[in-house]
Amino acid sequence: MQKINSRDELNRVQDRAKKQIEATSSRILICAGTGCLAGGSGLIYERLCELAKDCPQVSIEFGPEIAHGDAYKKTAAPGSAQKNVCENGEGGETAQEVDQPSVGIKKSGCHGFCEMGPLVRIEPHGILYTKVKPEDCEEIFEKTILNGELIHRLLYTQNGKEYAGQEEIPFYKKQTRLVLKNCGHIDAEHIEEYIATGGYQALAKVLHQMTPAEVVDEVSEANLRGRGGGGFQTGYKWSQVASQKETVRYVVCNGDEGDPGAFMDRSIMEGDPHKMIEGMLIAAYAVGAREGYIYVRAEYPLAIQRLKLAIAQAEECGLLGENIMGTQFGFHLHINRGAGAFVCGEGSALTASIEGKRGMPRVKPPRTVEQGLFGKPTVLNNVETFANVPMIIDDGAKWYRGIGPENSPGTKAFALTGSVKNTGLIEVPMGTSLREVIFDIGGGIKNDQEFKAVQIGGPSGGCLVEKDLDVSLDFDSLKKMGAMIGSGGLVVMDQHTCMVEVARFFMSFTQRESCGKCVPCREGTKRMLEILERIVEGNGEIEDLDRLESLADMISSTALCGLGKSAPLPVISTMKAFPEEYMEHIVDKKCRAGVCQSMKNYVIDPEKCKGCSKCARSCPASAISGQIKSPFTIDSEKCIKCGACLGNCPFGAISIEV
Amino acid sequence: MLDASFYEKTDEIIEQHTREECSLIPIIQDIQAEYRYLPPELLNYVAREIGITEAKAYSVASFYENFSFEPKGKYVIKVCDGTACHVRKSIPILDRLYNDLKLSKEKATTDDMLFTLETVSCLGACGLAPVLTVNDKVYPGMTPEAATELIKKLRGEADAEN
Amino acid sequence: MGYMTIDGIEVEFTDESNVLSVIRKADIDIPTLCYHSELSVYGACRLCTVENDRGKTFASCSERPRDGMVIYTNTPRLMKYRKMILELLLSAHCRDCTTCIKSGECHLQELAHRMGVTSIGYENKKTQYPIDMSSPAIVRDPNKCILCGDCVRMCDNVQHVNAIDFAYRGTEALVTPAFDKTIAETDCVNCGQCRAVCPTGAISINTNIEVIWEALADKNVKVIAQIAPAVRVAVGDAFGLARGENVMGKIVNVMHRMGFDEVYDTAYGADLTVMEESKELLERLTSGEKLPLFTSCCPAWVSYCESHYPELVDHISTCRSPMQMFGAVMQEYYKEPKKNGGKQILSVAVMPCTAKKAEILRGESKTDGKQDVDYVLTTTELITMIKKTGIRFENLDIESSDMPFGIGSGAGIIFGNTGGVTEAVLRRLTDGHNRSDMDRIRHSGVRGEEGIKELTFPYKDREIRAAVVSGLGNADELIKRIKSGEAEYDFVEVMACHRGCVMGGGQPVQAGPRTRAARAKGLYDTDINTQIKKSNENPLTVTLYNTLLKGKEHKLLHRNME
């Protein structure tokens, strides 16, 4: 890769990369996000490569191999007579001269439609094949690539309608993918692919056309608010760092996305890492930082690998390092891996962790913008926030403010999971209603169950119910509802979810992840958890509700950091929305969702029971008795609710009574 | 007492970083990647080499969940108990594995050093819930039965290697 | 600069760095368990949470005062929170208050009482840990730890020792040496400053009270005591007397009544130290070797130097500490059957210091294989013993200490303050002895609370460059400066505890700024009232060199370095 020493050179690289992409008659993009890789997309990639290699009718172009590539490289001896094997994307000029169809096979980042993975997208037709198996590759290659035919069984169908074009699928159609625009459409391991889409043009613009102050102004003008949860004004943060006396400053990217049920940032880091790197570069230029750190949680090995590669490529191109694009501006980027502590998502804990300390939040002031990493002024934004920056520079604050509501402009990525038909990663304008997200994009509740609630913002968030479905998803509206956007996890729940158990689950999460520094969080969440455990075990008392409320009030008013302060939110919001479920658990010892083990009541249907005694023999508590050939019964006093009988009944006579 | 090769390897790892406090975590991550656990002797050695106290190094290493002072099994199985996985029944999978491997919350590694069983808050693969990972490879849509099968398969693999 | 309204009262603030200090300035003793003006702000206990006029709550320790701020410190809501926090702390805490060594001076106990905690609705499910008795100086009981982090910040940030730190996290977090080692296995220097800031009984003094009671009751044992200078200004306030008042006379009286056979003054030992150390300084100045000369009075400093700067151990004076010099001299004196009356001699030192408990066990603290001082009692332990007797200490008459070791010079007395050793040495090296001579030394920069003081003092045809350091972290900084060549000295006085022995790890805890100042003043005032200002003018010293010490100076007064 050549060094890019000026804006013109960037433009030339972009033109060449574009042409190269256009020259390939079809491109196969195999999703290589964590989800699809887990589903076996790595094998699909390899299989398709082999097929292409063995096919005399096409010339092929590969993306550079990182993850699983060594094996392939060895088999793909370059230079066979009629094929143009292009190992690293350079020298593609010759491809267009070969007079036969050519095919590009690339691994892309996450498409977001994880439920349907592994996904294979075929360009330029925009076909999306879903749930692809390695066995399907031959057919894809023969029919679609060589003959342009559709394979109907691999297409997505909804309500009997078949969707050939990815963009037509309701899941995508209702989205506004700006931050995630490239995710799934480009090869994330290849910087030219990003440059081809106009990548690093925003950096070129700020370096050659704008002063740092103008950059800060533009971002402030766009009213970009932090996507990590708090919704703090990014431009203001930058301006504060820029105004510090201390001239050594840092830019830090928070990629420690730890909320259970959230993976937006991971998808960006894996699918379009250069976008956030470009955002960080722009931030560094704006505030005068020369060093930057990306803190990625250790559970995201692929993201770390892609970021490392992206940084190496950007350095090679001279887009990171000294004298970037021939200017005086220099910026160096480091990656820090998390080591397993949720609390490191909190700013001061994160910087402490980079410094090699225990990741414990510290008191503020001084704030991170004054004394952050290594005691120096620090811009700390999350992945999605940085990924928003290039387009604000490219298209202007005015354009950006045209998206979403006045006070929360732009889009927001959400991880839609739980009991919803189409789980996955989505992006919608701020202000979209919850209803649109769950029912239009998400396709409604799984197995056509009834919608019960949605947990938003993870363990720091709250739950919203039926009546809240039309609430606008933006920072301020959610805050008013006692929830928060958090990092953007949306976990949909149906009537089979027990809300008390959900509250217990979140509390056990926060409790386990409490750093232990301040008393309210360390001891208070522990006691809240004990009470909740008691309730789901059927030992709750009515006073427990008051205890929970006063502990919650104390913790949210006195805890040291945001995580502690928001820890009681899931409990409070479920208590508010589902008081009857708490009462049932405490008073009637009943769990209407049939989730809480202790409250399950196993019964034998005398109509169906043939008296075979298999259940009685499998019961570890000897709670089942009866005469052979006549219906058996379960002694609920002795029953330990293990469910062994249920699994063992050959006649389906045993069920759980709710 | 560890043999000299451990210290030589550690020296090599330290050379790839700077000798200062902020290198502690990356260095011990590399050591752990090498040995699948963090031998206490090496933590103390690193502390001395980069100029921090033993108590500080221990304080940091024990704070983070990823570091283990105990050797781990060849296959580290992490069962995700994040929201989505929990809702989609990850606990029965965990229970099955505890049972199959004769492990418990207190005893995480099998005596033959083949398996270590852990839970993890969220692997971020919620769309594939419930999931578990074996040495960072993700297995989606798990069931207790599939977990039993997986253990069999891994045992077979390990046997074949030996 | 500005005004804020606290509970409806307008309060001016100037350079206070946080709201909590302003609240305290307004004479409201807002509760806290983790705030010490000496330590960095940690913000863990949250007891100091206050509310502003918009109902927003925040911890006052970590908020900057702003002009026009309106805050409330005692609303019903805040009182409820405080009570809950204390309940939660106690719910994970050993509740054997009545048998706890810290009972009565435990900050947690006091606050629980003040906030009206009458019952705790939770079970203590915390893992129970063994009590660490390995150190001769301190006892660590993790089951009483509330994780306020005061000891960790003291040990690490202030003392640069870091023998203990946090480990693990959440409810499993604990304060411990690395890998659950015992204190004795660490580089702990026994300074006891962790114990001085510990609000509970999690770190306490390893006491020798019982064995002393037994010895006092034993007719066959002659119990000889020496009292360190800093002790006499830290006992009175425990009995309702003025802070910092010199109550040496009452201490001598009460100790006699408790059964101590002889009660001597360590200030006398200090005078011996001044004689020897001055001599050593002059020798080194002449030879130009092993400079700067570091003082050796403080055993915690000596330990610190040994573990952190072994290459500088040679620079430490070979002199024994005043306590050890005295111990050796006393043992020599009581060797004669006529003097010991056929009884076994038990040598007890009452010290403001926990490190002294470790010092007496060191090899070099023995003469002819026998320990020179058998037991060290800290000031705190002495107070406990007095209280046990029921004697109304405050009403006692004063008695003078016993002869022949009952007189110390003013120079010996001020050893208890940082700079005292240096000032005493300078007095020794000065020919004059009138008031103006003394004042010149006093104003040389040797006095004051600062952690690092530098001064030069003319001596004959040259100048002595001295530094006075208190607090091991400050010592560490100074040594780094010396090693880098940034600073050069002839003489360096080091005391491990910031402000010197008056704030030693064995002194009664919870000493605020006023107590600290009063203790220092107490010693300086005593010096003013003492006719003999210079160690070399102490008649007992002069006699001793001509009699008992003759030919034995090195054996009895210097550390056996082989």
- Chain centroid offset of residue B12 CA: 22
Q: Residue A86: its pLDDT value, please?
A: 36
Q: Is the model's pLDDT at A84 over the cut of 60?
A: no
Q: How many residues does chain B have?
A: 162
**Beta carbons within 10 angstroms of residue A370's beta carbon:** 17
Q: State the pLDDT at residue A81.
A: 32
Reported as a single tens digit per residue, the pLDDT across A150-188 is 999 999 988 889 998 888 898 999 999 999 999 988 988
Query: Cα(A132)–Cα(A118) distance, rounded to whole angstroms?
Result: 5
* Three-state SS at A460: helix
Question: 3-state DSSP call for residue A344?
Answer: helix
Domains of chain B are: 4-63 (1.10.10), 75-161 (3.40.30.10)
Amino acid present at C405: F
ipTM for this model: 0.91
Q: Give pTM, 2 decimals.
A: 0.89
CA–CA distance, A414 with A283 (Å, rounded to integer): 24
Gap between the Cα atoms of C546 and A445, Å rounded: 101
pLDDT score of A90 more than 80: no
Q: What local confidence, expressed as pLDDT, does residue A642 receive?
A: 66
- Chain B contact present for A505, CB below 8 A: yes
Residue C298 sits at φ, ψ, to 5 deg, of -100, 115
Buried b (16+ CB within 10 A) or exposed e, A313-340: bbeebbbbeeebbbbebebebebbbbbb
- Say if residues A551 and A460 touch (Cβ distance below 8 Å): no
Overall fold of domain A191-401? Rossmann fold (3.40.50)
- The pLDDT of residue C561 is 54
**What does DSSP say about strands A633-634 and A624-625: parallel, antiparallel, or unpaired?**
antiparallel
Segment C5-60, tens digit of pLDDT:
999 999 999 999 999 999 999 999 999 999 988 888 999 999 999 999 999 999 99
CB neighbour list of residue B103: distance below 8 Å, 6 or more residues apart: B97, B109, B110, B115, B117
CA–CA separation, A556 and C308 (whole Å): 44
pLDDT tier at A64, thresholds 50, 70, 90 = very low
**Tens-place pLDDT, residues A210-252:** 999 999 999 999 999 999 877 899 999 999 999 999 999 999 9
**pLDDT tens sequence across B31-61:** 999 998 999 999 999 999 999 999 999 999 9
For B117-158, write each residue's pLDDT tens digit: 988 876 666 667 788 999 878 888 889 999 999 999 999 988
Q: Taking 70 as the threshold, does the pLDDT of residue B84 lie above it? A: no
Nearest CA in chain A to C19: A365
Assess whether pLDDT exceeds 50 at residue A24: yes
**What's the CATH code, domain A600-657?**
3.30.70.20
Closest to C256 in 3D by CA, of C224, C229, C234, C228: C224
Residue C194 among the catalytic residues: no
Is C16 labeled as catalytic in the residue annotation?
A: no
A653 has pLDDT over 50: yes
pLDDT digits (tens, 9 = 90+) for C117-172: 999 989 888 889 999 999 999 999 999 999 999 999 999 999 999 999 999 999 99
Cβ distance of B23 and A114 shorter than 8 Å: no
> Cβ of A518 and C49 within 8 Å?
no
Confidence of residue A37 (pLDDT cuts 50, 70, 90): confident
pLDDT at A363: 93
At A275-329, the pLDDT tens digits run 999 999 999 999 999 999 999 998 888 999 999 999 999 999 999 999 999 999 9
| CA angle, A294 then A429 then A173, to 5° | 105
Which residue ranges of B make up the annotated binding site for [2Fe-2S] cluster?
Answer: 80, 85, 122, 126
Say if B21 is an interface residue toward chain C (CB within 8 Å).
no
- Which amino acid is located at A334 in the chain? H
Give the per-residue pLDDT at C2.
93
Q: CATH number of the domain at C2-74, out of 3.60.15.10, 3.40.50.300, 3.10.20.740, 3.90.1150.10? A: 3.10.20.740
The CA distances from residue A601 to A643, A648, C515, in Å, are: 10, 16, 68
Banded pLDDT at A111 (limits 50, 70, 90): confident
Please tell me the distance in Å from C476's CA to the nearest CA on chain B. 14
Task: Determine the 3-state secondary structure of C244 from DSSP.
Answer: coil
pLDDT at A85 exceeding the cut of 60: no
**What pLDDT score does A100 carry?**
62
Cross-chain Cβ contact C81/A365 below 8 Å: no
Q: B-chain residues within 8 Å CB-CB of A357?
A: 21, 60
Q: How far apart are CA C42 and CA C263, in angstroms?
A: 44
Residue of C nearest to B60 (CA): C167
Alpha carbon distance C27, C14 (integer Å): 16
**Which of A73-77, A351-355, C67-71, C224-228 shows the lowest per-residue confidence on average (mean pLDDT)?**
A73-77
What pLDDT score was predicted for residue A67?
A: 33
Pick among 3.30.70.20, 3.40.605.10, 3.65.10.10, 3.40.50.720: CATH of C122-205: 3.30.70.20
pLDDT at A146: 85
Interface test with B, best of C154, C165, C168, C185 (most B CBs within 10 A): C165
What is the second-level CATH architecture of the domain A499-588?
A: Up-down Bundle (1.20)
Q: Which residue has the tokens 């008042």?
A: C245
Cis peptide, bond prior to residue A170, ω within 30 of zero: no
CATH number, domain A411-494: 3.10.20.600
3-class DSSP state for residue A623? coil
The CA distance from A509 to A519, in Å, is 17
Residue among C332, C364, C477, C553 flagged as catalytic? C364
Tell me the HSE value of A5 on the side-chain side, using a 13 A CA sphere.
Answer: 2
pLDDT at residue A74 greater than cutoff 50: no
Output the six-digit token pair for A27.
């491109």
Contacting residues of C for B55, CB less than 8 Å apart: 156, 162-165, 177-178, 186
> Quick check: is C356 catalytic?
yes
Q: What are phi and psi of C138, to 5 degrees?
A: -130, 160
Asked if residues C502 and C353 have their Cβ atoms less than 8 Å apart, the reply is no
Of residues C297, C298, C353, C497, which has the active-site annotation? C297
Chain C positions in Cβ-Cβ contact with residue A514 (cut-off 8 Å): 169-171
Q: What is the pLDDT of residue C513?
A: 83
Q: Which of B34, B60, B58 is nearest to B45 (CA)?
A: B58
Q: Is the pLDDT of residue C76 over 90?
A: yes
The label of the residue with tokens 């001599």 reads C279
Report the share of chain C in percent with pLDDT over 90: 77
Q: What is the 3-state secondary structure (H, E, C) of C207-233?
A: CCHHHHHHHHHCCCEEEEEEECHHHHH
Following DSSP, what letter does each residue of A237-251 receive, concatenated? Answer: HHHHHHT-S----EE
Amino acid A68: pLDDT: 33
C352-401 tens-digit pLDDT: 999 999 999 998 888 888 899 999 999 999 999 999 999 999 999 999 99
Q: Place A62 in a pLDDT band, splitting at 50, 70 and 90.
A: low
Q: How many CB atoms lie within 10 A of CB C301?
A: 25
Higher-scoring residue by pLDDT: C192, A105: C192
Task: Provide the CATH topology of domain A8-169.
Answer: Glutaredoxin (3.40.30)
Q: Model confidence over A333-376: pLDDT tens digits?
A: 999 999 989 999 999 999 999 999 999 999 998 999 999 999 99
- The answer to whether residue A57 scores a pLDDT higher than 80 is no
Find, among B30, B41, B31, B38, the residue nearest to B3 by Cα: B41
Q: Where are the domains of chain A?
A: 8-169, 191-401, 411-494, 499-588, 600-657
CATH number of C210-557: 3.40.50.1780
Report whether C78 contacts C49 (CB < 8 A).
yes
Task: Give the Å distances, CA to CA, from A113 to A106, A120, A165.
Answer: 18, 11, 14
Q: Which residues of B are annotated as a binding site?
A: 80, 85, 122, 126
Minimal Cα–Cα distance from B111 to chain A, Å? 25
Instruction: Locate all alpha helices (DSSP H) within C63-156, ordered by sequence.
Output: 76-91, 107-114, 150-153
Residue whose tokens read 């013993």: C385
**SS3 breakdown of chain A: % helix, strand, coil, rounded to 5?**
45, 15, 40
- So what's the pLDDT on residue A519? 97
- Nearest-CB residue to A519 (from C45, C166, C168): C45
Tokens of C301: 């400093």
Are A293 and A373 in contact by the 8 Å Cβ rule? The answer is: yes
| A263 near B CB under 8 A | yes
- Model pLDDT for residues A117-154, shown as the tens digit of each residue: 899 999 888 899 999 999 999 999 888 888 888 999 99
The residue of chain C nearest to residue A516, with distances taken between CA atoms, is C170
What percent of chain C is predicted at pLDDT more than 70? Answer: 99
Please give, one letter per residue, the 3-state secondary structure of B19-76. CCHHHHHHHHHHHHHHHCCCCHHHHHHHHHHHCCCHHHHHHHHHHCCCCCCCCCCCEE
Residue-wise pLDDT for A250-281, tens only, equals 999 999 988 877 888 999 999 999 999 999 99
- CA–CA dist C408, B132 (Å, integer): 76
The arrangement of strands across the sheet holding B115-120 comes to B115-120, B75-80, B132-134, B137-139
- 3-state class (DSSP) for residue A227: coil
Apex CA A344: angle with CA A342 and CA A349, to 5°?
145
Nearest chain B Cα distance for residue C39, angstroms: 18
Cross-chain residue pair A520–C149, CB shorter than 8 Å: no
Banded model confidence at residue B83, pLDDT cuts 50, 70, 90: low
Query: Mind listing the pLDDT tens digit for each residue in A503-557?
Result: 998 999 999 999 999 999 999 999 999 999 999 999 999 999 999 999 999 999 9
Is C210 noted as a catalytic residue in this protein? Answer: no
- Nearest CB neighbour to C59, from listed A363, A517, A554: A363
- pLDDT score of C246: 95
3-state helix, strand, coil in chain C (%, to 5): 45, 15, 40
- Measuring CA to CA, which residue among C139, C145, C181 is closest to residue C163? C181
3-state secondary structure of C146: coil
- Domain spans in chain C, listed from the N-terminal domain onward: 2-74, 122-205, 210-557
